[in-house]
Amino acid sequence: MNVSSGLQSLFVAASLLLSAAQAQTVTVPTTQGPVVGSATPVQQFLGIPYAAPPTGPNRWKAPQPAPTWTAPRDVRTAGNICPQVVIALFPVPGRTPGEILGNEDCLTLNVYAPQGATAASKLPVMVWIHGGSFVAGAGSSYDASVLAQKNGIVVVTLNYRLGALGFLALPALDAEAQGGASGNYGLQDQQAALTWVKRNIGAFGGDPARVTVAGESAGGMSVCAQLASPQAAGLFQQAIIQSGLCTSPGNAVLQKDAATRNVKYAENLGCRSTDVACLRGADVSKLLTTRVPGLRPISNLVWSPTYGTPLLPRTLNDAFTQGAFNRVPVMTGTNHDEGRLFVPVASPDGSPVSLVKYWASAGLLVGAPRAQRVLLQYPFRRYGTPALAFATMFTDGVFSCPAIRVNTALSRYVPVYAYEFNDPQAVSVIKSPSDLPGLGSYHSSSLVYAFQTPLPGVADSGAFTPAQRALSDAFSAAWATFVKTGKPEVGGQAAWQVFDPAHANVQVFTPVSIRESTTFATDHKCAFWLALDVQ
């Protein structure tokens, strides 16, 4: 072979490789500029910025306009996660508790669309808000490829500012904040991402007029906040709330009270609370590790949404009971054993939960004056160990019965579809404490069943038994069908009626059946908890 023919062969081979690479990518226009994502096995566009980096002078400001570009931007790699400290309850594979991760330049989102989706497809859209107590987590932890491809929907996952960076309310910041109220920056980020979706998702095959906002734990509470926020009106048409803590004990914190509390936090950073320049120059690691003063109930999120602001004029309970929310169909659910994941909260040193620790935890949860009443409802001898008594108390008081309160309030104005996920041996890579009989359907356990892909540090969908795979198929299909139709009714499943407060009917998903139950409120002692009134 002469040199000329050899060069020609190399050129042909290179061209074929280039063509193959191009065949595996897809380019989509956005309002910021074109983006290039992966085309197989589903269309994935990762790390798309939806706002400017919230760094320097943009720290503790509303999200600013996103950057623009002209040349196609490669978005095949996830963006930075937002700054956070690894905590034991939300493990990160390969990382140790206390380790600091992330970068402030983190306001990005990820789009998953079925293979071949185009601007003409107009598929329904689900926007996913991750959990993590408003201090941990990332949109990129959730692989939505199966959910999108299998069900013919477009799924968007997103990052939002966490911890003090996302929720610091402070008098010195009030003067420059929208409406004179600082804080809730993470919720503003979510609204900026939803606005991006409204403007751009059509190019990815989604229908901007059929958007479901969904989330779990702090993400579920975020969905409740977006329902209650006048500024989110028109950004979504349906909502899914999983384990949302929306009216749980201690979560209705007024902005003015948080701002006053945080004066001492600012001083602990080494800044005068009025010195905004000093605060904006503080090292991220110090912001994340400086103690927030004041003891709070253990169910409360130290950094979390605050109320009495233009973004959230009312507490969630007031907004829902008064009908002052964005009225869209809602699907809402909890897990049967939510509290088992939180047993380490009652015993941080890892030792078995003692009676003294159990009693103290009840006081922290509901306040000392009510603690005795709670302990009488959950005597440890009935459960075998103080750990299981604590976990059951936590499940009922923080998740199950507040969900009944939310369902009852919302159902006066919109269709509500309520469910409970109950796999007694839900898949997990989390080790169960020795003084529990197992984790059961622990907090976050349902997510791997909904997404049908592994959730790092939590569970692996590859570990499903045949019965669990069938449960996952049914559970995931119910979510997807709600996204597509506003009703979670799936062929072959038991009929799913809208929530009726008179019956407190809940669709229960187990490995052996899917059926309606009207004993959910009784099973979780909700008459007791709702009368206790510890919002």
| pLDDT per residue as tens digits for the range 461-491 | 999 999 999 999 999 999 999 999 999 999 8
Please classify residue 101 by burial: count the beta carbons closer than 10 Å to its beta carbon, then call 0-12 exposed, 13-18 middle and 19+ buried. Answer: middle
CB 201 within 8 A of CB 154: yes
The pLDDT of residue 300? 59
For residue 293, the model assigns a pLDDT of 75
In the residue annotation, 338 being an active-site residue is answered as yes
Contact 326, 312 (CB under 8 A): no
- Of 136, 164, 132, nearest in space to 262 by CA: 164
**CA 291, 294, 299, 305 torsion: positive or negative?**
negative
Q: What DSSP string runs through 153-187?
A: -EEEEE----HHHHH---HHHHTTSGGG----HHH
Q: Is 394 in contact with 342 (CB distance < 8 Å)?
A: yes
* Structure letter (DSSP) for residue 87: B
Structure tokens that stand for 265 in this block: 């936090």
Residue of 217, 229, 304, 400 marked catalytic: 217
Is position 336 annotated as part of the catalytic site? no
Q: pLDDT 10s per residue in the chain (535 long)? A: 454 555 454 444 444 344 444 569 999 999 999 999 999 899 999 999 999 999 999 999 999 999 999 999 999 999 999 999 998 888 888 899 999 999 999 999 999 999 999 999 999 999 999 999 999 999 999 999 999 999 999 999 999 999 999 999 999 999 999 899 999 999 999 999 999 999 999 999 999 999 999 999 999 999 999 999 999 999 999 999 999 999 998 888 999 999 999 999 999 999 999 999 999 999 999 999 998 876 555 555 689 999 999 999 999 999 999 999 999 999 999 999 999 999 999 998 889 999 999 999 999 889 888 999 999 999 999 999 999 999 999 999 999 999 999 999 999 999 999 999 999 999 999 999 999 999 999 999 999 999 999 999 999 999 999 999 999 999 999 999 999 999 999 988 889 999 999 999 999 999 999 999 999 999 999 999 999 875 5
Rounded to 5 degrees, φ, ψ at 21 are -65, -45
Domains, in order of start, for the chain: 24-532 (3.40.50.1820)
- Distances from the Cα of 24 to the Cα of 11, 73, 110, 512, angstroms: 20, 15, 18, 41
- Does the pTM surpass 0.85? The reply is yes
Q: Of residues 140, 338, 361, 524, which has the active-site annotation?
A: 338
pLDDT at 12: 42
Tokens of 422: 């109950």
- Spot the catalytic one: 443, 446, 476, 517: 443
The DSSP symbol for 297 reads -
Q: Please tell me the predicted confidence (pLDDT) of residue 65.
A: 97
443 is catalytic: yes
- Parallel, antiparallel, or unpaired: how do β-strands 123-129 and 108-113 relate? unpaired
